[in-house]
Amino acid sequence: MKRNFQPETLMMSYGYRPEWSEGAVKCPIFQTSTFVFHSAEEGKAFFEVAYGLRERGAKEKTGLIYSRLNNPDMEILEERLKLWDGAEACAVFESGMSAISTALFEFLQPGDLLLYSNPLYGGTSHFVHHVMTKFGIEVLGFRPGASRDELAQLIERSGKKDRLGMIYLETPANPTNDLVDIAMCRSVADQFGAAGRHVMVAVDNTYMGPLWQHPLQHGADLVLYSATKYIGGHSDVIAGACLGSAELIARVKTLRTFLGNMIAPHTGWLLLRSLETLKLRMEKQTENARIVARRLAEHPKVGRVHYLGLLTPADGEAYDIYRRQCTSPGAMVSFEVKGGEAEAFAFLNHLKLVKLAVSLGSNESLAQHPATMTHAGVDPAEKAAFGITDALVRLSVGVENAEDLWWDLEQALEKVAVAVEAVELA
């Protein structure tokens, strides 16, 4: 009898055997730069496979050579991360930005067009506009909620429709939780591709993954993560990952070897530990976020609340995409404090439990002001178009006691009017 265990069951031991390490129940930190070969012949064989000089044998694994190429902490982490997204392969990196930049460099050529969803994560936006363009890649953004026809027209009018190389998505969008239909983007990519020229669809799944949204199942070629966020989950590590088919990830790993931006053994080990509680943490975070979002929506000092769990059939397309694409509303909530920047700042400054910091997905709740912090670099007209108003606060909900969290949010909201008046009088 055989049973296919669920990922949360496999996170404790999958891909590791105690006999590799004196019976240690847990995978140790392989803090080593290089690995001893049993013989010169073995070293030769390992290099032949690593450098693609010959096909790998059916049962042959890439032998351990040097920690820029491979290391047990890195490889076991990749094996475990694959399970959540049902991916064939995974490559892990020392940051989310290194996963994203390596994938873009590998799959785009000078002269290509990169179409992306707005708003993008600030670091990605900078990379796309200031680095990719230096290498002759043309970039074009589309607005949240754009229809299939709008995307096709945008590509047609760019004059580069036969050079579309990739559609790059972030869904739900940060910080407004706007959704992009991944399957629709797959169909647009296929429309502009040709025989021998596959147009890639890449999805930054940091906001929902790896539990609540599986882009590969909706037609994406690549899934990217800042593992700094939910996957790490303790605000103590920076890391990233890229997942997809064995063929695509082999290319990503080759470039990683030569850029040298692979994950370090200690970071890999920390993430192995984080993965053991990933599902527990993410489920508790959602449970708290649902409570907080519902109460915020009813609070007299709060305007609009952006939370997937508050979508209803009246929201039309957004609701349909949510039902098709996501299995949970997640733990990211953004909302407008009635008023503007002064009111939003007063709220943030009066929080006692929730920390005022950027980043997301961690055990502890964090709050920040997108317009002047994470999205400070976004053009003011675009900020307005994307709904990143001066009154908007973004909340990443943690695993604390929900009533404690609500106590903190409520007491900070109570202080808003008083604090703003005091500033105006001074």
Which of 208, 262, 217, 214 has the alpha carbon at shortest distance from 240? Answer: 262
CA 206 to chain CA centroid, nearest Å: 2
User: Smallest distance, Å, CB 359 to ligand PLP?
Assistant: 7
123 binds ligand PLP (CB under 6 A): yes
362 binds ligand PLP (CB under 6 A): no
Tell which one of 10, 29, 152, 238 touches ligand PLP (CB under 6 A): 238
Q: Identify which of residues 228 and 389 has a Cβ nearer to ligand PLP in the complex.
A: 228
Q: Name the closest residue to ligand PLP (Cβ).
A: 96
Q: Which stretch binds ligand PLP (CB under 6 A): 16-24, 95-103, 135-143, 323-331?
A: 95-103
Q: Are 91 and 78 in contact (CB under 8 A)?
A: yes
SS3 per-residue string spanning 1-61: CCCCCCHHHHCCCCCCCHHHHCCCCCCCCCCCCECCCCCHHHHHHHHHHHCCCCCCCCCCC
Q: Are 329 and 289 in contact (CB under 8 A)?
A: yes
Q: Which stretch binds ligand PLP (CB under 6 A): 67-75, 89-97, 330-338, 415-423?
A: 89-97
User: Smallest distance, Å, CB 279 to ligand PLP?
Assistant: 20
CA 13 to chain CA centroid, nearest Å: 24
- Contacts of residue 289, defined as CB under 8 A and 6 or more positions apart, other chains included, come to 307, 309, 329, 330, 331, 332, 333, 397
CA dist 353 and 84 (Å) reads 32
List, in sequence order, every residue forming a beta bridge with 356; answer none if it has no partner. 367
- Compute how many residues bind ligand PLP; rule: CB under 6 A: 16
User: Smallest distance, Å, CB 116 to ligand PLP?
Assistant: 12
95 binds ligand PLP (CB under 6 A): yes
| Site track 186-215 with ligand PLP (rule: CB under 6 A), x = hit | ------------------x-xx--------
398 binds ligand PLP (CB under 6 A): no
240 binds ligand PLP (CB under 6 A): yes
Q: From residue 424, how far is each of 54, 197, 316, 412 by CA, in Å?
A: 73, 60, 42, 18
Q: Which stretch binds ligand PLP (CB under 6 A): 188-196, 223-231, 256-264, 417-425?
A: 223-231
228 binds ligand PLP (CB under 6 A): yes
330 binds ligand PLP (CB under 6 A): no
332 binds ligand PLP (CB under 6 A): no
Q: Identify which of residues 209 and 339 has a Cβ nearer to ligand PLP in the complex.
A: 209
